[in-house]
Amino acid sequence: MGPEQNIILEGRGVSRYFGALAALSGIDFSLYEGEILGLIGPNGSGKTTLFNVIVGVCRPSEGKVFFEGRDISGMSPHRICQMGIAKTSQIVQPFTRMTVAENVLVGAMYGGGLPQKEAWEKTREILAFVNLDKVMNTPSGKISIPERRRLELARALATSAKVILLDENMAGLNPNEIEEALDLLRAIRERGVTLMVVEHIMRAVMGISDRMIVFNYGEKIAEGTPREVAENPSVIRAYLGDKYA
């Protein structure tokens, strides 16, 4: 990334302890406007915790997070959402009795702060964009897994987020569905949204990321292009150790 690139989101020395466990240790990261940054690491390495710290669900024990140059550490999730950061959850948790459209409307009204009429217009536009317009009146508990994944993205988009954090949004998808999901992420980037993507499906995250960072036991062990990261001995060790130890 050249110096002409703007940093939209930045973490400096971010640590988070749960009792004696360091879920995150002194993490520095920069997210450049317009990029897709992949975040990988073995189970329990701190990926979800970092996302929770960024969106204010979890306070950092040490360190700071800056969004567009402003210190957002310790702000409420509501405030951070309104400033322009949204997260999709690792566990899909839409309000299952509400329809697909109502779920997206909540994002538009809550995060986007739009009045009802504008929020409905935005909801319709986004449902068409993520190809959920045909199921818009279906209770969200009754749609398929790939549709639920797209609903999570739709809710994030409805908040007018500038940055969307995706936590394993492709889990449970078959290879064709993964290809479609990757196309959708590229289309979201075309809308001007910056993406940070946590994903265990290596082919998917390597294929879509401009840059990647790698966590192991709460520490950042590598950073670079997908190719650099894939060839990094510490990364290979972390993954092989995790699998074969």
Nearest distance from C-beta of residue 48 to Mg ion, angstroms: 3
User: Are residues 205 and 38 in contact, defined by beta-carbon separation less than 8 angstroms?
Assistant: yes
b/e per residue 202-232 (b: at least 16 CB within 10 A): eebbbebbebbbbbbbbbbbbbeebeebbeb
The minimum distance between CB 170 and Mg ion, in angstroms, equals 13
- Amino acid making up residue 170: M
Minimum CB separation of residue 205 from ligand ATP in Å reads 12
Which SS3 state, helix, strand or coil, does residue 170 take?
coil
End-to-end Cα, the chain, rounded Å: 36
**Is 52 a binder of Mg ion (CB under 5 A)?**
no
Query: How far from 46 is each of 52, 71, 101, 243, CA to CA, in Å?
Result: 10, 21, 33, 18
Quick one: 144 exposed, middle or buried, by C-beta within 10 A (0-12, 13-18, 19+)?
exposed
Applying CB under 6 A, which residues contact ligand ATP? 18, 21, 23, 41, 43-49, 90
- Which of the listed partners (ligand ATP, Mg ion, none) does 45 bind, with a CB threshold of 5 to 8 Å by partner kind? ligand ATP
Q: How far is CA 241 from the centre of its chain?
A: 26
Nearer to ligand ATP by Cβ, of 21 and 187: the residue is: 21
Binding residues for Mg ion, rule CB under 5 A, total: 3
Q: Shortest distance, CB of residue 46 to Mg ion, whole angstroms?
A: 8
CB of 49 to Mg ion, least distance (A): 8
| Shortest reach from residue 210's CB to Mg ion, in Å | 22
| 20 to 58, 64, 115: CA distances (angstroms) | 16, 20, 46
Q: Which is nearer to ligand ATP, 49 or 103 (CB)?
A: 49
Q: Which is nearer to ligand ATP, 47 or 155 (CB)?
A: 47
| Residue 45 found at the interface with Mg ion (CB under 5 A) | no
Q: Is residue 48 involved in binding Mg ion (CB under 5 A)?
A: yes
Is residue 36 within 8 A of residue 185, CB to CB? The reply is yes
Q: Which is nearer to Mg ion, 85 or 198 (CB)?
A: 198
Residues 69-108 that bind Mg ion (CB under 5 A): 90
Beta strands in 139-193 (DSSP E): 163-167
What the block records as the tokens of 119 is 């929020």
Which CB, 87 or 122, lies closer to ligand ATP?
87
Distance in Å, CB of 3 to ligand ATP, minimum: 31
Interaction partner, residue 84 (Mg ion, ligand ATP, none; CB < 5-8 Å by kind): none
State the Cα–Cα distance between residues 157 and 191, nearest whole angstrom: 10
Interface segment toward Mg ion; rule CB under 5 A; list 46-54, 125-133, 203-211, 224-232: 46-54
Interface residues with Mg ion (CB under 5 A)? Answer: 47-48, 90
